[in-house]
């Protein structure tokens, strides 16, 4: 019943096999587009990384990770935000179905990678949230970009949105562990533990800035 509701079939009882198959195929095709969007951005990032290796310049990319939300996660998010449960609502209201995380050595590299991507004329910046200059209250730091890229099929072209998160190695370390502690724990995180996590984030951020400073000093030698 959940899948039928997600596929936008209001009258579940009257839904025949042909309708179900057609709607399931539409969902499959839509998820394929998001996968293609990830591949497009990922390929561009890999080319930029390879170019740095060839030119001998310091590589601003340490790692590239990708993920796509599964239908259950999409359904929960639509419900949580009060959006209609349908494929069209999914496309219109959620920008993070397709996600890429780029882990960079230094803070400066984050903005270098973002600038290199945005100079490519087939990528459109839809939204930017800079949680490095303006960290979240819990201490989370990252640069979030919502990018739109064209996907060319045999008979049509589709604009697909991909969420790109750019972090340093240190930011990724904290965010990964914080997520594991906060969301994998069966109990509510008490305020004093949240305070401890925030303090860890601040210490890691200070270390990040110091490492950036050291790198800049070495560059001038």
**Residue numbers annotated as active site:** 163
**β-strands 98-104, 124-130 pairing:** unpaired
Output DSSP code: residue 94.
Answer: -
100 forms beta bridges with 66, 164
For residues 101 and 37, what is the distance between their CA atoms, to the nearest angstrom? 14
The first and second tokens of residue 192, run together, are 């004093």
User: Are 100 and 65 within 8 A, CB to CB?
Assistant: yes
For residues 10 and 170, what is the distance between their CA atoms, to the nearest angstrom? 47
């Amino acid at each position: 019943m959940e899948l039928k509701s997600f596929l936008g079939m209001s009258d579940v009882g009257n839904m025949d096999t042909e309708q179900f198959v057609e709607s399931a195929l539409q969902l499959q095709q839509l998820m394929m587009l998001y996968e293609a969007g990830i591949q497009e951005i990922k390929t561009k990032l890999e080319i930029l990384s390879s170019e740095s290796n060839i030119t001998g310049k310091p590589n601003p990319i340490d790692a590239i990770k990708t993920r796509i939300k599964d239908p259950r996660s999409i359904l929960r998010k639509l419900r949580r935000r009060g959006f209609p449960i349908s494929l069209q609502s999914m496309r219109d209201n959620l920008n993070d179905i397709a996600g890429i995380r780029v882990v960079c050595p230094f803070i400066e590299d984050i903005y270098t990678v973002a600038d290199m991507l945005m100079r490519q004329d087939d990528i459109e910046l839809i939204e930017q949230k800079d949680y490095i200059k303006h960290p979240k209250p819990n201490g989370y730091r990252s640069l979030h970009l919502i990018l739109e890229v064209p996907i060319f099929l045999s008979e049509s072209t589709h604009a697909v949105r991909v969420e790109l998160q750019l972090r340093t190695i240190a930011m990724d370390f904290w965010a990964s562990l914080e997520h594991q502690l906060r969301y994998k724990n069966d109990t509510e995180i008490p305020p004093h533990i949240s305070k401890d996590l925030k303090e860890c984030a601040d210490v890691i951020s200070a270390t990040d800035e110091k490492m950036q400073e050291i790198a800049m000093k070495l560059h001038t030698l």
